[in-house]
Amino acid sequence: MTVRAPSVPRLELPIQRFELSCGALLLVSPRPQASIAAASVHVRGGPALDPVGREGTAFLAGSLVDQGTAAHDEEQLAALLEPEGGEVGGDATGVSGSIVNERWELLLETLAEMTVAPAYPADKVELQRQRLLDRLLVERDDPRVQGGLLFRHLVYGEHWLGRAAYGTRESVARIGARELRAHHKQNWVARRGVIAVCGQVDPQAVRRKAERLFARWPAGTALQTSPPQFPERAVRSGVFHSKRAQVHVYLGHLGVPRQHPDYPALVVMDHVLGTGPGFTNRIARILRDELGLAYSVNASIHSSAGVLPGMFTAYIGTSPDKVRTALQGFRREIARIQEEPVGAEELDVAKSYLVGSFPLGFERAARRASYMISSEVHHFPADYLERLLASFAAVTREDVQRVAREQLFPDRCVLAAAGPLSQGEVSRLARPSELGTAPVARTPAPRRARSRR
Applying CB under 8 A, among 73, 84, 109, 211 the residue interacting with other proteins is 84
Number of C-alpha atoms within 13 angstroms, CB side, residue 242?
Answer: 23
Q: Which C-beta is closer to other proteins: that of 127 or that of 377?
A: 127
Applying CB under 8 A, among 68, 167, 310, 317 the residue interacting with other proteins is 317
Site for other proteins in 5-24 (CB under 8 A): 5-7, 9-10
Task: Assess 68 for contact with other proteins (CB under 8 A).
Answer: no
Q: Which of 285, 270, 360, 356 is nearest to 3 (CA)?
A: 356
Site for other proteins in 122-141 (CB under 8 A): 127, 130-131, 133-135, 137-138, 140-141
Q: Which C-beta is closer to other proteins: that of 137 or that of 441?
A: 137
Task: Assess 170 for contact with other proteins (CB under 8 A).
Answer: no
Task: Assess 34 for contact with other proteins (CB under 8 A).
Answer: yes
Q: Which of 222, 207, 199, 188 is nearest to 69 (CA)?
A: 188
Site for other proteins in 143-162 (CB under 8 A): 143-144
Task: Assess 33 for contact with other proteins (CB under 8 A).
Answer: yes
Task: Assess 416 for contact with other proteins (CB under 8 A).
Answer: no
Cα(39)–Cα(111) distance, integer angstroms: 8
- Minimum CB separation of residue 187 from other proteins in Å reads 26
Site for other proteins in 361-380 (CB under 8 A): 362-365
The dihedral formed by the CA atoms of 380, 386, 388 and 390, expressed in degrees to the nearest 10: -150
Q: Which C-beta is closer to other proteins: that of 76 or that of 204?
A: 76
- Minimum CB separation of residue 5 from other proteins in Å reads 5
Q: Which C-beta is closer to other proteins: that of 24 or that of 272?
A: 272
- How many residues sit in the footprint of other proteins (CB under 8 A)? 82
Q: Which C-beta is closer to other proteins: that of 82 or that of 158?
A: 82
Site for other proteins in 221-280 (CB under 8 A): 242-246, 276-280
Number of C-alpha atoms within 13 angstroms, CB side, residue 313?
Answer: 26
Q: Which C-beta is closer to other proteins: that of 279 or that of 339?
A: 279
Q: Which C-beta is closer to other proteins: that of 198 or that of 210?
A: 198
